[in-house]
Amino acid sequence: MIAYRMLALACLLCGVPLGGQAQTYEIKGEGVRFQPEIIHARIGDVIAFRKMVPHAVESIDAMWPQGAEGLNSSLGADVDYVIATEGVYVFRCPQHWRARMVGAIVVDGTEDVPGIVAGMLENADSEMLKPAKRLLKRLAVLYPRPVETP
């Protein structure tokens, strides 16, 4: 019983819901794309970037949940990232940014994903963030904004 309580406390502290098994999701570098490009995950899940030669992963600051640890891997290196915060995470390969090599993680339970994605799309009008637009449009289709009734 005490052990169970300790476990429950540990799970509370690390944000993993008790009874929920943390999953590992693999994202591979394929050509100049992340495969898959969009992943749905839960807090506590691990995103495992594999087959990263000749790629790298870098969080896009303007499209990353506030307070979440950034991501910045070395060229060609595998990297594991543990999801600790709700939100929508958009990352890129700096080597193939111009080729629009971008990916996203959407965390279950995130409030107003359509609103977040719409905000990111507006941001992506700037010349600097334009390469993210293709992926954000895919996200906007997956998470449409509710139709407003007059």
**Contact footprint for Cu ion (CB under 5 A):** 55, 93, 95-96, 101
H or E, element range at 138: helix 133-142
Closer to Cu ion at the Cβ: 87 or 131?
Answer: 131
Q: Residues 139, 117: contact at Cβ < 8 Å? A: yes
Q: Output the smallest distance, CB 107 to Cu ion, in A.
A: 24
d(CA 70, CA 132): 17
Q: Which is nearer to Cu ion, 14 or 53 (CB)?
A: 53
Which residue, 102 or 116, has its beta carbon nearer to Cu ion?
102
Give, in degrees to the nearest 5, the angle at Cα 82 between 7 and 38. Answer: 130
CB of 93 to Cu ion, least distance (A): 3
What minimum distance in Å lies between the beta carbon of 94 and Cu ion?
A: 8
